[in-house]
Amino acid sequence: MHLPEFPQREADENHLIPLINIVFLLLIFFMVAGALSSQDVFDVEAPDSSIEEEVNDEGWLVLLGEGGASGLRE
């Protein structure tokens, strides 16, 4: 019995293109869906000051060192 020989497929990567397209579409979908979802926002109430006079804060510079030491300059 003689069976017909089928032509051999060439080793090409054209069968990967639809898979790559689907992966990119899913990536775009999840990026957009993640950007649209909002996080729960809660109100933050600032603490009241115990000092009644205003402080001039235009000339302050706070310096922090490696060991956590801090210094203030006016």
70 contacts 64 by C-beta, under 8 angstroms? yes
At residue 68, the pLDDT reads 67
pTM of this structure: 0.36
- At 15, list the tokens: 């069968």
At residue 44, the pLDDT reads 80
At residue 22, the pLDDT reads 95
62 contacts 70 by C-beta, under 8 angstroms? yes
Residues of the chain with pLDDT under 70: 9-13, 35-40, 57, 68-74
At residue 26, the pLDDT reads 96
